[in-house]
Structure formats: structure tokens, C-alpha cells
Structure 1
Amino acid sequence: MQKLLLTIVFSAICTLSFSQQNAYYQQSAKYKMDIDIDAQNFTYQGNQTLTYTNNSPDELKVVYFHLYWNAFKPNSMMDQRVQSQGKNGDSRLQTNGISRLASIPKNEEGAQNIHWIRQNGKDLKFEIQETIMKVELDTPIKPNSSTTFTMEWDANIPMQIRRAGRNNREGIDMTMTQWYPKIAEYDYDGWATFDYIGREFHAPFSDFQVNIKIDKDYVIGAGGILENPSEVKGYEPNANIKTDSNNKATWKWTAKNILDFAFAADRDYTVETFTILDGPKVFYVYQKSEKTKLWEESKPYVTKFFQLMNATYGKYAYPSYSFIQGGDGGMEYGMCTMMLGEGRSLEGLVGLMVHEGGHSWNQQMMAYNESMRPWMDEGFTSYYDDLIMHQLFPPKEAVANPFVNTINSYVNFTKTGKEEPAVWLGDHHDDGRAYSVASYVKGELFLVQLGYIVGEQNLSLIMKEFFNQWKMKHPTDRDFMHVAQKISGMDLKWFQHYWINTTKTIDYAIKDVKYDKTSTTITLENKGSIPMPIDFSVLTKDKKVVNYQIPMNMTHIWKSKDIYGDFKTLDYWKWTQKEYSFTIPYNKSQISALGIDFSQRLADVNPADNFIEVK
């Protein structure tokens, strides 16, 4: 009896320990910063107090900070990567295959020079490793406890090569993104200490209180709440600008529970605002001119964008959002987007706003580790991008499926032989185009193919439930699959493995059709390497569409409905079996056409053999 009791107690302790080690947690930080900018010389002085809370079950003896601007100089890791990739790399970092970083003048290099860092008042040892700063703690941070770091540094604002920097090509003076020593994220996978090579970012949710001193003639746009609009330029018509002895104004910004604090500064900014019903207050901060006249026309489209995202995915969590002219293309940050402003067309400008604004859901509120899983962030954002742009700018020719162009882009790229798996780390793709297809295109088609498998109604439920469960957290693909399988009832692990971890492709074909007096027998063939359930349709002479579902045994449960029409379910197709035959009660005289996937959602790399027109 005693032995049995000991066994039960030991088992309970092990179970409790396991559950504690695997329970979800997330770290948090609170920044208080005072920044003094020398606008003439493009430098600034910084002081920071950071309260960091360790909600993990682990004792932390070291912490890590990101110093992103250290990448913007000759012979940095980013420069070396661009040089080694040549014309296969990121085109924005090169000119004719030659790295733009290699020729940055010394006075325009990026630099974040740490003077000192202290923990609870005690000096700490630190080591700068390119864009990562390793800090040895005086006192380990125990689980469920907090500590305070103070830090002083100065920085040189780099030439704008990628996202951040001075004097962008549209004439914006300063784009201040990833500009401060930023504590790295710590989670079940350990510290997220990826070197900055030019791709994406990851951080804990944090609160910010940032005071920025700058020449009184500057206007600042930022992701946050401006606490003293009446004391600075641009936000109130009768502002009484307060200055110090150096003729500088102090901008006081706050933000809660965001991943980063970004801002841009220019003397020629105009600030415009409008409020969306049941949505955020939107700020446009840009140089108003003939070249940016489309910003005014974009406002009703941006309003509709926020309303559609709130309805289809989940409600935007923050009180405001700023679109700021300041980047090299577009990039999302906490409560704001930095973007080029001189749009060539209204649809192009709105498309940029929709994509970058869409990252507020799939990056800012659903804070994936982009360095590890860029396909979730970029892909899921691109999915809603196409879905919403299809509604904002309906195509001239009626097309039911808004993802047709994305599928065609993917199919064409598979023929180049350059495809790389989406599971690869963001900065470790060998080819810039391969990275884009893996992250943006295959990430988007992950959801399109999932909708094809489980039904569009189920996909909509999956996305809403995923957002409700994981907003303001750091979900992984495993968390997404848990929700997808629970709602659909299907086993979907095989699909994620094939689509994300491999470059295998879908290729089905109609191999044979035999007509009888009262029926037709069709033989399909799986010529590809990814098995899929199949939707098959018949168009009758009297213009009726009859749909059939051929399930695949690996899902174990079949979809029960789909928005593309009712269907009859046939026997399942074993994934090990290359051919499948079935008979339909229509003869040749009754059929106009038949084929695989009339909805054109299936990412089949050779769709030409999927359809037959019956004459």
C-alpha cells in the first residue's frame, strides 16, 4: 500500500512539473526613454529605464538586446550576406548585384554606442556581437519576478538603406525604426537572438513612455498616443509650442502592449486624422503635395479596410493607427506603418496600406516569431490582403476566387527549380525570390488550400477562433493547427508537413473518360507528390453544375459544406493509390464540361489536364 501511495504521489508531482514547464507564458517589459536628437548631425543621445518581468519558469542569468542599426555599415553581416547572394538576394539592398551597404560613408554608418548598462543600480558586463548585445546579470532574474535595467547610449542615424535611417528617397529627414536597444524575446524556445540580416523582427509585448527632444520646426509621426499635442507642431491648429533653451520641443508619447515603438520626423509633414466607426482614430502623416494627392482619396478605402478586418478576423485592439510617409516601400510597426507615399495609382497606394495595416493583426496582435516562421506573418497577411482588395477594387472581369493570381504566381515559380521550403528561417533563404514565394505566396496558399480541404465556412471559423484565443500572445504553427483540427475535426498534420516543410507539389489529372448510354466513368490520376482530397464538377448541357467530393483517407472526416456549392460525397481516395475511378449518372449528350476544382483554389502545378470540354 505504501509503495502504491508513493507511486501515485510521484506521478502527480511529475504531471504537475510537466504541466508547469509546458504552460503558456510570455515576458513583458516597460520602457521609459528620454531622447535628445541633434537633427543637423543626424545623431541622438538616449537614456532608458527598462522594467523587465520574467514570467517564465526559468531563472535568467543573462539577457540579450537587439542593436539593429549596427547592421548598416560596410562588412557587417548584412553587407556580407548581400555580397554573397549577388543578384539572387534582396534587390532593395543592392544595385546591379552590388551591396549598397558596402559604400555607406563613415559618417552615415549606423551605430548604437552603449555607454553603460546597470541592473538595479549595479554596473553590468556586456558584449556587443554585431546586432546582438549579450548582458551578464549581477543578480539572476528568478521566475515570476521583475528587475530594472538602466542604460545610456548615443546613436548615429544611418543612411537609409532598408526601413530605417536618414534622408529617404522621398525627402523624409528621419525614419526611426528599431532605433533603441531592444530587449529580445524569451520563450519556450529560448532567447530569440537572430542577427539582423534584413528580414524580420521579434519582441515581447511592452509598454512605452518616450520623451523626444527635437528642433521645434519638426513634426513627428509615431505609433502611439501623443500626450501633449498642444505643445508641439502639427497636431493642433493653435498649438503653443513649448521650447527649451536650445529651441527644442519635447514630444511625449505613450503606448501600451505593443511590440516596438517607431517614429519618423520631418519639417514638412502634414497631419490629418479621421475616426472609423467602431475602429481606431487614423492619422496620416505625410508631405502633402501633388505627388501624394492620392492619400486624400484613400481615406474611404482605409475606413472600409479596418471595418472588413474587424468583421472577418477580429477587432483591432489599439485606439489609433498612423500611416507615416517614411520607409523604403512599406513596413509595419506598433500602431503604425512606415511607407513610401508617392503612389502611382490609387489601387497601388491602398494596396500598400492594406498589406502593411493588415500586419497589425498578423504581426502586431498575433505576434509570431517572424524570424522562424515568416510564412505565418507574411502569408496570413497576404491572404487577407487579397481577400479585402478583391472587395475594395473588384476586377473588371468577374472572378469568384480572389486568389487566382497568387496560385498562378506560385505555379510559375515552381517551374524555375528555385523553390525553397517555407519552414526555412527567414534570413537563411539562398534566393530572395525564393524567400518571397515561400513566405508570402506559400504562406497565403496554406490558407487557400486549407479552405479547399475543410470548406470555406470552417476556415472562417478557424481564423476567428485562432485570433480570439491567441491575440496579444505569441502563437506558433502548432497552436494554429490545434485550432484548425479541433474546429474541422480533421487530421491536418500531413498537409502542413507537405506544404510548409517540403517543396513537393500538387498535380492531379483526368486520365480517362468512358461514356456509356446512361453514365460516364472517369479515372483520375495523382501525378504529383502531395496528396489532396479532390472536388470534381460536371457542367450539364442545361447549365447546371453538379459537384462531387472525393475525400482523402488521411483526414478521416470529410468536409460537409462549402460556399462553392453543394456536393455529393464519393468513396475516399487512399493517399497511397495513384489512380481513382468513379461513375456519374450522366451520358455524353448530357455533359458540356467536367473537371477537377471548378473553383480554381487547388494549387495544381499543371491545371491544363484538369478539365475536359465535351463536344
Structure 2
Amino acid sequence: MFAYRACFFALLFIVVSQSYAQSKRDSDYDHQELFGPINWPSPGEFRTASGKPSDKYWQNKADYVIRTTLYEGQRDTTINGDVTITYTNNSPDELEYLWLQLDQNLFKPDSRGAAVTPITGDRFDVKGFNRGGYHIASVHITYKGQTYNVTPVITDARMQLRLNKPLGAKGDKIQLKIAYHFSIPEYGADRMGRKKFKQGYVYEIAQWYPRMCVYDDVEGWNTLPYMGLGEFYCDYGDFDYYITAPSEMVVVGSGDLQNASEVLTPLQQKRLAEAKTSDKTIALITEKEVDDPETHPAKGTLTWHFKMENSRDVAWAASKAFIWDAARVNFPSGRKGIAMSAYPKESAGNDAWGRSTEYLKQSMEIYSNKYFEYPWNSAVNVSGVALGMEYPGIIFCLSNYKRGKLWGDVTHEIGHNWFPMIVGSNERKYMWQDEGFNTFINYFASKDFNKGEYFDEGELNAQSILQQYKNSKDPLMTPPEAIGLNDYGQYYVKTALGLKMLRNAVIGSDRFDYAFNQYIKNWALKHPTPYDFFRSMNNAVGEDLNWFWKQWFFTTWKLDQAILSVKYDDEDPANGVLITIINKEKMAMPVELKITQRNGKSETVNLPVNIWQRGGVWTFKYPSKQAIKTIVIDPNGQLPDSDLSNNVWRAD
């Protein structure tokens, strides 16, 4: 027995020694680089080491009352309005000045966004609109009973208000009133704008009022400018807003319509009430009724009044061309909501926008059941110029989309109401934290919708994603305005693939789903950083996943697992086989091998990532009884292995 064991370990030593020697020649892997210490910011006083808000966590609040009018002119269509902001400073700091976002200034010819737009243009092209940007008519501040005027200091798409007296800490309030107007761009960087249809323009209106920048415990004032690709970071608050528009227009918006009796006909009110109790789509304004004078009997203008509580933003749309339909949404708590769609005749049809409300309703129900119940009462999808854009309670989708493309656009844009509208991350700095998480949940929504009507397993195919971004030099933690214009798609799919791999190849579905839902619950209507997410997942699954976060989000490392050698113990297959594998690139992952013997018996062996903690070569013994026919690494193709040719070993 002793002699046999001595022989075995001698053989093992020779195999491992030879393997390590070869690994130095054939591998770039460095276990210290991957598993060594990390240099992340400490959680601090307001965020726990377990990735949750602490009992001292705070965030400021911004409540808005907005009154605005849409003026259709021969040359321009303008938005004229005023906004009253009640800002509550819940931070422990006095604030001597306030910062606001002026996102319409992106469309000024001399904006930073225009300056960094390539000469060839891009999806977020802001060149060619010479009348863009906010015109700030006045700013009044009321604090502790005193009202005074302020001359704003405007820098590109930010506005600083310097206060006469500092705003006190821990709950002190200040009120701002700002009068403004701007011209609606035809193409609003794929986030808003106007598009002409046969029955009139569809106006998709967003970034339409000066809004507070976020002051948080991580950065203080978050003042990164709006430049096109990087989206938004907003505080939560209550919105009370009024849209005055020509009476022949229908206005839809974020939140709940407050004055249906004033702006809808009795028939439309009846149909709306019916839709709130129907799981089938009910037409509020049919295709035939769009041009009927009885559809819009009022003359002059109408003012539409909406409210939305505990939201980070609101948007709206208006048109003379709208077909309008709706259906009930059933939430898991038993609460009911409503899903709606507004679209021109050009978008109509049962293979197109005629199913939009169905897509919206089903998506809202799927995400509410799987992750977190939608906290508001309504949502509406609008057909227009934007390829796809999201706001709380309203989404904009491209007017000519049909079938699976429309489903994908709808479920993606309403999915953003979970990331980042409910889980309020900083999109302008960490685009992957909303786009990638949303793309991940879209994958499961498509699987669930109508028995997988539009589901494509290949949507998150590891090899196709690898090939698409294999030459990218920008990791996911790169800010949006610094990433290559051909590379920002990885925010979506590389992030989603990473979560899918964690769920299927590293952690397991039950543990992952529990941890992911804990993260959503703990950070709903709050402001998590990436490090809060990393710590939250580590703690809830009970694993130190820092090796994964490091390689997947902070680097562009590649993965290449390979079979190095296969040797029978004492040259007899009945004694078992020594299989040596090598990690050739800098990234490491667990290893799954499918081993098939000549007798046809197949078995899957799963090795944890820990085998790579001491080096890039690992030898293990498989208890074979007959000769091995084939060994395949990652037989289900879950990992983005950069060289598939060395993933298979076949007997001679």
C-alpha cells in the first residue's frame, strides 16, 4: 500500500512539475494579480460593509411643481414654463451653494456635447440645432421667510446658485422658483424630440425643466455634465405638474392624470374606466377617431394635470396624431395599475403597436413578481423619434418597430423603471449598473412572455459577446463619456453576461436570485454605488467574489482554459486518470468538464475557481474504469473562452 501511494505521489509530482514548467511558458495568468488585495473605497459611516444603507444613511429630497406650455410655431415649437423646487437638505453638511442640471444646454451649438461629437456624427449627435438650450428668465430663492433674486452661474449644462445664507443641515428646506423656455430639438440625442406624422407632430418631452443635481455622501455635488451618452442621476421627490397644450392634442405623462373630467370626453372617460378593469387592451381613442372633431371638442388650449410621488424624474408626450389604448396591470400585492400606449396611425397594426400595451402590461407584471413591485400606478409607451428611452412611468420607443423588435424595445425601456428608476444608481458615471442589470432581467422577461414567443437563448451568447468586444481596451468601470463609441454596447451585454455566468456557473440560481433581490430591496428608491452592489452580493451569497468583480468590471482580461495533459495512473485506465488543466490567460473561472469513457459513460466534473488560487495549472484524478474517449471544457458554452480549440481532448 505504501509503495503504491509513493508511486502515485511521485507520478503526480512529475506531472505537476512538468505542468508548472510549461505553464510559465504558455500562460499569462498570475494568481496574485487576480486574488491579491483590492483597493476599493471603504463603505464609510452611511453604508455598511455588508452592502446595505446604514441606519445613518441619508439622501436629499427635491419636490417639484411645474407649469409649462407647449407653443407650436411656424419655425419653432417651444416649451415655456416655471418650476418651483422645494429642496430638503438631509445631509449633515451646510450648503453654501446649489447645483442644478440644465440638460437642454446640450443642444447649444457651443456645448461640450457638441464639441465632442465626432465629425461623422453618432447616435447621440447634437450638432445642427442652432436654437437649442435653456433661456433662464429669472431665479428667485426663498429661505427662512426671505425671498431674493439670484444671478445664476451657468457652465455648459450646469447651473450654480450662490446663496445669501448657507442652507442648514439635517432637514433644512429652501425653495427655488425658476422661469425658463427652450426650443424643442428635432432630434434630442435619442432621448426626446419631435417627429412629424401625417396627422401631426409627436412631441416626446424630457429633460424639460431645471432639476437638482444630487448631493450625496460619496461625491458631494455630482456635477458631471450631460454630453449625450452618459444618462442621469437624480434625487427622489414628489412631482405636481401641469402641461398646457393645444386642445386637439392628447397629452400622456409620468404619474397619474388628475383632471380626466376636464381634458377627456365622457366617452373617453368611460373607456378609461373600463381599461382599468380589463386584462385585454381597450381603445380610448381608435384609429378612426384620431381625425374626428368630436375626439377633441374643446377649443383653444387644455391644461393636463399629473402627479407622481417619490420619483426621480418625469417626462411627457403630446400629439394630435395619437391613437390611445390601455389595459389593467395586476401587481403581486393585489394592487391594480394601468398600462397605456399612444402612437400615430403609421405605427398601428396587430403586428406592431397594436400589441404595445400588451407588451408593457406583461413586462410590468413579470418584473413586479420577480424582483420588486412597481411602486407607481401607471406607465405609458409613446411612439416617436427616440430609438428607445426611459423615464419613470413613461417610455419612448421607435415608431416603426414591430413584433420582436418592439417587444424587445418595450421590455427593455420599462425594465429601466427597476434600474435605475427604483434602484437609483448614477447612470452618468456607471452606465453598466443600469443598462447591464436591465439587459439581464430582460433576458428572463423574454423567456417568460407568452411562452417564450420572442425568446432567443443566444441573446447572451458568450462567444458572440466575446467576438464583438474582444479588442476593446475599455473596462466596464470606464465612465460613458470616456469609452470608445463602438464599445459602449458592452455596458449592456457584457454586464448581463457576467451576471448570467455568476448565476449559472459560479453561484447557482437560488443563491444568486436571493442575493440579487436583497440588493434591489435594500436599495429601492436609494442611491447605491457599484461597491454597494459588490458587497451586497458577497454577503448574501456567502462568497468572496472580489476576484470576479475585479476581472469582469475593472479589466479587459480574457479567459482561456485548456486541457494540458491526460495520463492514466500506472498506465492503466482502471486505476483512474490524471487530468491536468491550465489557465492560460489572466481571467479565471470555475471549470466544468464533460468526461466520456469508451464505454459511453459520461459525467460532468465541476471544479471551483479556488483551484487557480495558487497558480495556473491544476491536476486532479478522475476515477475512470475504462479508457477516456473525450474531455470537453465548458460543454454548454457558458464562458467567453478565447480559444475553443484547446477545450477538447480526444483519444488518439
Calculate the TM-score normalised by the size of structure 2: 0.80
- Which residue of 1 is the match for residue 202 of structure 2? 173
- Which residue of 1 is the match for residue 443 of structure 2? 386
What does 1:411-450 align with in structure 2 at a 5 Å threshold? 411-415=466-470, 417-429=471-483, 431-437=484-490, 439-450=491-502
Amino acid at match of 2:127: A
Q: Does 1:70 align with 2:72?
A: no
Change (3 A) 1:193 1:234: farther
On the 8 A contact 2:348/2:354 being kept in 1, the answer is no
- Which residue of 1 is the match for residue 530 of structure 2? 477
Q: CA deviation at 1:308?
A: 2.4
- Which residue of 1 is the match for residue 60 of structure 2? 27
| Equivalent in 179, 184, 199 of residue 152 of structure 1 | 179
| Equivalent in 103, 106, 115 of residue 80 of structure 1 | 115
Change (3 A) 1:394 1:75: farther
Q: CA deviation at 1:389?
A: 1.7
- Which residue of 1 is the match for residue 82 of structure 2? 47
Q: CA deviation at 1:185?
A: 0.8
Amino acid at match of 2:439: S
- Which residue of 2 is the match for residue 198 of structure 1? 228
Q: CA deviation at 1:463?
A: 1.0
- Which residue of 2 is the match for residue 609 of structure 1? 646
Q: CA deviation at 1:53?
A: 0.6
Distance in structure 1 (CA, Å) of the matches to 2:191 and 2:469? 33
Distance in structure 2 (CA, Å) of the matches to 1:593 and 1:48? 70
Amino acid at match of 1:111: Y
On the 8 A contact 1:404/1:600 being kept in 2, the answer is no
Q: Does 1:122 align with 2:148?
A: yes
Q: CA deviation at 1:372?
A: 1.4
Q: CA deviation at 1:323?
A: 0.9
Larger RCO of the pair (alpha carbons < 8 Å, separation 6+): 2
Q: Does 1:537 align with 2:594?
A: yes
Amino acid at match of 1:471: A
Q: Does 1:184 align with 2:213?
A: yes
On the 8 A contact 1:201/1:370 being kept in 2, the answer is yes
Calculate the TM-score normalised by the size of structure 1: 0.84
What does 1:228-377 align with in structure 2 at a 5 Å threshold? 228-233=259-264, 237=268, 247-278=300-331, 280-289=337-346, 293=350, 294-343=352-401, 345-377=402-434
Amino acid at match of 2:158: I
Change (3 A) 1:17 1:234: closer
| Equivalent in 102, 124, 144 of residue 127 of structure 2 | 102
Distance in structure 1 (CA, Å) of the matches to 2:66 and 2:613? 58
Distance in structure 2 (CA, Å) of the matches to 1:234 and 1:583? 78
Amino acid at match of 2:466: V
Provide the identity percentage: 25
Amino acid at match of 1:39: E
SS in 1 for 2:424: coil
Q: Does 1:214 align with 2:248?
A: no
- Which residue of 2 is the match for residue 569 of structure 1? none
Write out per-residue CA displacement over residues 342-387 of structure 1, whole angstroms, 9 at most, x where no aligned residue: 21x3111000001111111111000100111111111100111122
- Which residue of 2 is the match for residue 585 of structure 1? 623
Distance in structure 1 (CA, Å) of the matches to 2:465 and 2:101? 34
On the 8 A contact 1:31/1:209 being kept in 2, the answer is yes
On the 8 A contact 1:243/1:249 being kept in 2, the answer is no
Distance in structure 1 (CA, Å) of the matches to 2:176 and 2:405? 44
Amino acid at match of 2:506: I
On the 8 A contact 1:117/1:152 being kept in 2, the answer is no
Distance in structure 2 (CA, Å) of the matches to 1:251 and 1:243? 15
SS in 2 for 1:465: helix
Q: Does 1:594 align with 2:617?
A: no
Change (3 A) 1:508 1:32: same
- Across the aligned residues of Structure 1 and Structure 2, the Cα RMSD in angstroms comes to 3.0
Distance in structure 2 (CA, Å) of the matches to 1:380 and 1:176? 26
SS in 1 for 2:182: strand
Change (3 A) 1:243 1:155: farther
SS in 2 for 1:360: coil
Q: CA deviation at 1:212?
A: 1.3
Write out per-residue CA displacement over residues 36-74 of structure 1, whole angstroms, 9 at most, x where no aligned residue: 221234113212211111111111111111111111132
SS in 1 for 2:488: helix
Q: CA deviation at 1:234?
A: 7.5
Q: CA deviation at 1:522?
A: 1.5
Q: Does 1:528 align with 2:585?
A: yes
